[in-house]
Amino acid sequence: MNDYLPPSDLLAGRVILVTGASTGLGRAASLAYARHGATVALLARHEPQLDAVYDAIVQAGGAEPAMFPYDLALADDRSLETLAGTLAHHLKRLDGVLHSAHQFFNLSPLHLQTLEQWQTLMRVNLIAPFALTRACLPLLKQAEDASVIFTGETHGHTPRAYWGGYAVAKAGLETLTRIWADELDSQDGLRINTLIPGQVATTLRARTHPGLSPDTLPSVDDLMPWYLYLMGPDSRAVNGQIVECQA
């Protein structure tokens, strides 16, 4: 997949919603989607960081993005349905969702992790992606070719000590992917997959692996061929899959 060369107009005319769009992989994907023709709806908690991504897209000549300052830890059905309605009203369509927002505390043994931490981890990393996708489902099904990408995690796919509630939530996304893909009608034109970035130079990786030099890891831009492939029409036949990046 590293040699995948998408055409510059891969996502022309499409509207893509990206959560966690202000930093890391979400920011890189937002910029990549805009470079390939998409109108990007940027969602994240911190408005100043969203402003910076907005400006970067516009300065690069991309279509004017939409911005949605929104805290997924506070999400409920009503506010998510309002969000989906706002997308429909202002952007008229939705062709894809990349769930890149995440919540992480620290690596620790299970007996030191609290109920409150687990509730937040589940809410942001698993429940909110489900609920946001559900709210956007009618709009996604109107598209001829729509794609939803959940962001998995290596230690959710292959559990290891100390990853605790974060890994459990990410593992849940894999099960959610398979169930939802199995429920989709082939006529819906919608596919749902989980993408596992693996080791990549992000702030999260710096926290969990402080001994690793960022220079030894793939950059977020190195992984963009995967994000473009799964969001674009070339992956139309890929559904219900757990895809591991190999940069």
Burial 37-46 (b: 16+ CB within 10 A, else e): bbbbbbbbbe
Token pair 């977020």 is found at 220
Q: What is the CB neighbour count within 10 angstroms for residue 22? A: 26
The one-digit pLDDT tens for each residue of the chain (247 residues) are 668 999 999 999 999 999 999 999 999 999 999 999 999 999 999 999 999 999 999 999 999 999 999 999 999 999 999 999 999 999 999 999 999 999 999 889 999 999 999 999 999 999 999 999 999 999 999 999 999 999 999 888 989 999 899 999 999 999 999 999 999 977 778 999 999 997 764 566 545 555 555 566 778 888 999 999 999 999 999 999 999 986 5
CA 36 to chain centroid, in Å, comes to: 17
> Catalytic: which of 33, 54, 166, 227?
166
pLDDT tens-digit profile of 107-117?
A: 899 999 999 99
Residue 214 sits at φ, ψ, to 5 deg, of -55, -30
The strand pairing partners of 147, in sequence order, are 96, 191
pLDDT tens-digit profile of 181-225?
A: 999 977 778 999 999 997 764 566 545 555 555 566 778 888 999
Give the long-range contacts of residues 243-246, CB within 8 A, separation 24 or more.
243/193, 243/194, 243/195, 243/196, 244/154, 244/157, 244/196, 244/198, 245/1, 245/195, 245/196, 245/197, 245/198, 245/200, 245/218, 246/1, 246/2, 246/198
15-197+223-244: CATH homologous superfamily?
A: NAD(P)-binding Rossmann-like Domain (3.40.50.720)
Cβ neighbors of 217 (< 8 A, separation 6 or more) are 199, 200, 201, 205
* Angle at CA of residue 184, ends 181 and 188, nearest 5°: 125
Q: pTM value?
A: 0.93
Residue 238 CA to residue 233 CA, distance in Å, equals 10
Token pair 């006529």 is found at 187
Q: Is 162 a catalytic residue?
A: no
pLDDT the model gives residue 220? 85
- Of the chain, the percentage scoring pLDDT greater than 70 comes to 91
State whether residue 26 is helix, strand or coil: helix
HEC assignment per residue over 59-87: HCCCCCCEEEECCHHHCCHHHHHHHHHHH
